[in-house]
A and B are shown apart, each in its own frame.
Chain A
Amino acid sequence: MNVSDDQPPPPPGRSWRSIRQEVKPLAMSRKGRRRQLAAWAKVGALSLFAAGTGWGVYAVAHSWSTDRAALATAVHSELVRDVVLITDGVLTRDWAAGVLALPRPASLMALNLPALRDRLLAHGQVRVAVLTRNFPDTLVVTLQERTPVARVQAADGSGSPRQLLVAKDGVVYDGLNYDKTMLAGLPWLDGIRLVKSGDGFEPVAGMADVSALLSTAQLQAPHLYREWLVVSLARLAERDEIVVKAQDLPEIIFSRKRDFFKQVAQLDYVIDAAHGLEAAPVLQSVNLTLEGQVPVRLQGAPDTLAAAPAAPAFSLQPSQRKPKREF
């Protein structure tokens, strides 16, 4: 046969390999069906084995990646030789080392950092704690501490009173390493009820407002703040009032609905104005909760006098009189 190149070749016949070889189970003999079942079982067993092997490999890999002892071996980390403390407060390295209580000897990679962090955070003074491995042998502890805004008196287990500190977020804690003079200048909290929670107390509600008032006073009128002895939150929940007791002024009523800066300014004005009067009245109470006027109560005056029209009520006209302080 001579086939020219431009002629398309005829289609070839089928090869025996294109014959379908599968046989329906009904057409199989019993032995064939048994072999087929055995083959399926084998495939199933192999699949299970493969799945098991895969799971095993995953488990080993997962364990390898999470097991600290294995990691320690893997990276050949050394024993912890130093603990470095970086803090924005007053806590010391020794305190941190004491709280962490690292086992000796402890490999750096073998340390359970989340557990150590929880130990630090168990102390109320610590707001944020970050622990970092600094290879090869240093554990770096970075802390952000709470700042106390007030003090509170509580009874310990034996019934004797002890001084606790309250932070801006209401957390009540034992203060450590604070300057005693600074602590003595903090006002006491009153009108609150401490609720036990674990080893400590539940956070005090409303401390954000108290902190705002105290920091405003501390910054803008430190001469007034120094005189403040007690801050009462007794009326805060019901009437939104914070009552401050100062050394020479038994009751100063602030409202958390009004701007504290304005209220402190008004208080300063009222006190200055009272001192400027020839009669030199002694103030018993200053109410700063009202807009436009500040009712005051003077020492020796009958209670009804304060409500009478003739009772002194300082109208707020700062422009008529030169203020002693610029706010």
Chain B
Amino acid sequence: MRFVDVGVFLCAALEDPKEYFEGCKLLLERLEIKAGKAREKVYTTLLTPAVFYFILENREGLSKEKLTRAILSMRALNITILPLSDGGIMEEAARLAEKKGTDFDDALNALAMRKKGIHEIYALDPHYDRFEWIKRIIPS
């Protein structure tokens, strides 16, 4: 079981940073649902499409229609969305982000991972290295 962070999608969409692009693209291709093929279990939270959209809607010339299609396409990948609705996760994430010096959304994702028993994350963001229960994997 692994988690996928928004950076993978952003890198694939932006084709930037160049050194990570091929790996991110290959990971997404592996996550395309293909009948009869063994698939790895990959998870994320709703923060991923939310941050993806929030950032990319600022790209000049990128239509909302294309963004909608991209979001629907995320849904079509073999990725399960983990809930963030459990009581206490918000407060715990705030404390964790303060303690580890990470972004709040990273802390929320890290807690969602711990709750699900996931210890590996596909991410470009080195902040995830600050959570001791997480091993970061750069897609390749």
The reply to whether chain A is a binding partner of chain B is no
